Copies of this chain bind each other. A is one copy, B any other.
Amino acid sequence: MMDGDGEPKPWQWDERTWRAKVDKVRAGRSLLPKQWKNGARCAVALSFDSDHETGELRYGGKSHGKLSQGQYGARSGIGRILKLLDRYAVPASFFQPAVSAMLHPQEVKSVVAAGHEIALHSWIHEFNSTLGYEPERDLNLRAADVLEKIAGRRPVGVRTASWDFSPHTLAIIREMGLLYDSSLMADDDPYELLEDGKPTGVVELPVEWIRDDAIYFNMDRLASLRPYTAPEAVFDIFRRELDVAYEEGGLYVLTMHPHVIGHRSRIWIVEEIIRHAKAMPGIWFATHADIAAYCAQECGLKR
């Protein structure tokens, strides 16, 4: 039952093999509370991955054009975003690679000063699954130190860069005592992560490419990626996700990037989503940290 290279093919695996793969990291019980804070009907968690120059640095940092595209996030995008969040008094979570935070410490301080959350998002936007346990652990610990030093508080949650959740990520999250992860996609609503079938006490606030600005707008000359989707269509998708989250009494997590959504032709999407949410009674706008803590408490999560 093996082929030339000695590895059984997936259709040759025994049941134990594929069950182990599925069970390694998996969604467990729902952590959707009966109602949201203060009786709210729906929780809205806006998030911004402040990658800036690290999006290019992780590939070697040779393209001055791509580095300038990244700098745009810090120079133009963040300002528009913070102004908008302030105007509507909406808290949000900013996931920032350590190198990005070191390049833009004043930005980090402004984000915190405005009442938002700063959370872990790798060292230099590296892909976890290429690293091995030791380097991934080391980079995450150092990144937490950097964010704590600049932001003045230690991060309590993580979003893996490119949502690249390695076989070691969950162990490292537990070791670091983090409250939540926001990188996986098994549900719309919060759930507890299982490791090899066992509860971990870690809250997952699930993401989805559907609710990510970059996939519609990315441009990579060498990879055939183009921003083909009309901004109106992106808004329509984000709005529909929100409307059904509201109907279901669920969680709405939106992932955006200052160098993507911060552009003049796109920032209106965030504003219209906020206005749309504000027009519905019973929306709780909160950071990922506050939502995860609330879910953990309401659902009696053992940590």
Residues of A within 8 A of B (CB): 9-11, 13, 15, 18-19, 21-22, 24-27, 53, 57-65, 67-69, 71-72, 75-76, 99, 102-103, 123-124, 126, 129, 131, 135, 139, 162-167, 169, 183-188, 206, 208-210, 215-216, 218-219, 221, 223-233, 236-238, 240-241, 243-245, 248, 263-268
Expressed in whole angstroms, the Cα–Cα distance for A265 and B71 within the complex equals 32
Whether A228 contacts B231 in the complex (CB less than 8 A), given A65-B185, A124-B11, A126-B11, comes out as no
A184 / chain B contacts, CB cutoff of 8 Å = 64-65, 68
Within the assembled complex, what's the spacing in Å between the Cα atoms of A156 and B9? 27
Bound CA–CA A75/B192 (angstroms): 13
B contact residues around A169 at 8 Å (CB): 64
Q: Does A233 contact B236, Cβ atoms closer than 8 Å?
A: no
Contact A216:B228 (CB < 8 A) given known A165-B64, A185-B68: yes
Q: Which of A185, A218, A219 has the most CB of B within 10 A?
A: A185
The answer to whether B216 touches A240 (Cβ under 8 A) is: no
Q: Say whether, besides A57-B21, A227-B215, A229-B230, A126 and B264 are in contact (CB < 8 Å).
A: no
Which of B68, B71, B233 is close to A232, meaning CB atoms less than 8 Å apart?
B233
Tell me, rounded to whole Å, the shortest Cβ–Cβ distance linking A51 to chain B: 13
A15-B102, A224-B223, A268-B240 known; A24 and B64 CB under 8 Å? yes
What's the number of copies of this chain in the assembled complex? 4
Contacting residues, chain B, for A219 (C-beta < 8 A):
209-210, 215
Inter-subunit contact A186/B237 (CB<8 Å): no
Cβ–Cβ contact B64 & A25, under 8 A: yes
- Which residues of B have CB within 8 Å of A243? 264
Chain B residue nearest to A22 in the complex (CB): B53
> Which residue of chain B has its CB nearest to the CB of A215?
B226
Return chain B residues, CB-CB under 8 Å to A129. 62-63
Residues of B within 8 A of A187 (CB): 72, 75-76
A126 CB to closest chain B CB (Å) equals: 4
Determine the distance from Cα of A21 to Cα of B129 in the docked complex, in whole angstroms.
Answer: 25
A240 near B228 (CB under 8 angstroms)? Answer: no
Among B13, B99, B164, which residue has its beta carbon within 8 angstroms of that of A65?
B164
User: How distant is the Cα of A234 from the Cα of B39 in the complex, in angstroms?
Assistant: 37
